[in-house]
Amino acid sequence: MLNPWKIFGLSVGLWLATVPPALAKEKTSAQTRSSNGIVSSHLRLGVLASFPEFTSGIVAWDISKNMSLQAAYAPAQPIHVDLEVPGKKLVEQDGFAIRSPQLTLPFDVEFGSHWSISGEWHPWSGSFYLGLGFGYRQLTIKSHVESALMFEDESSMVLSNTRFSADLSSRTEQELLRSVIGQRWSSDALFWGWSMGLVKPLRARSQVLTQLRILNLRASDSADTSAENVEDALQVQEELIRSKVLRELSKFERMALPLLGLEIGIRF
């Protein structure tokens, strides 16, 4: 599997090795345009294709040859993820136990929406720029799974007919710091460019809702199997699923991601 951080480091190294001569040439060209009285203020509308935010619409204002402001919005993108929850002994009493099998939770994820506002500084009045901005992102998850409980005594363990269903939904919100470097070129009414950087969460919060229900109680003829035992097992299973999801979301809340993008659009 390709490591995005290695790709990011290699891209920066290649850029540092090749870009300085072009920057010097662009600086001279920009100074010449300025002395000829060409106005450098423009409104830009375009599309940004990037990782990890997929496709964004952008609106920007080039205030001067050195400064610009940009706003971007990316709609939610559907993703499917599976989360493994290990099996565990849920209830035990007098040599009899109720155990959950290993579960695979199918997550229907909506990654986004995203929005951001950033400022850009062109230190040499050319195509190269440094950008810093703030953003917001949300992540929603829905999942439904059905599974049977397992009954265990001192001599055997059987998969019962007692089934339960688990429904889960979650919502995560992140406030982000975006730092980028990039280059942007223009020709008449068109512009295009690339960017790379880092998206780092500043603050995040998650809410997780779970609901587990027993679908039947036809599991076993064992006298040890009671509705009370099954209900107790269900409560333990619900907390097991909830804590597993919260641990995974906590990792995502703190995760900084590399930002790689290509943009194209029109300017006025």
* Residue count of the chain: 268
Q: What is the mean pLDDT of residues 191-215?
A: 93
User: What's this model's pTM, rounded to 2 decimal places?
Assistant: 0.74
- CA 257, distance to chain mean position in Å, is 9
Buried-exposed string 211-235: b where 16+ CB fall within 10 A, e elsewhere: ebebeeeebeeeeebeeebbeebbe
Whether 149 contacts 230, CB under 8 Å: yes
Amino acid residing at 231: E
Strand partners, 112: none
Mean pLDDT throughout 20-34? 44
- Report residue 136's pLDDT band, with 50, 70 and 90 as the boundaries: very high
For residue 75, the tally of other CB atoms under 10 A from its CB is 13
Structure tokens at 122: 């062109």
Distance CA 243, CA 141 (A): 15
Residues 176, 201: contact at Cβ < 8 Å? Answer: yes
d(CA 111, CA 141): 9
CA-to-CA distance for 266 and 43, rounded, in angstroms? 9
Q: Among the residues of the chain, which ranges form H helices? A: 4-35, 227-254
The stretch 160-188 carries a mean pLDDT of 92
Check residue 227 and give its pLDDT.
64
Q: 4-267 is classed in which CATH architecture?
A: Beta Barrel (2.40)
DSSP letter at 245 equals: H
- For the chain, give the mean pLDDT: 82
106 contact partners, CB below 8 Å, separation of at least 6: 80, 82, 143, 144, 145
Domain boundaries, the chain: 4-267
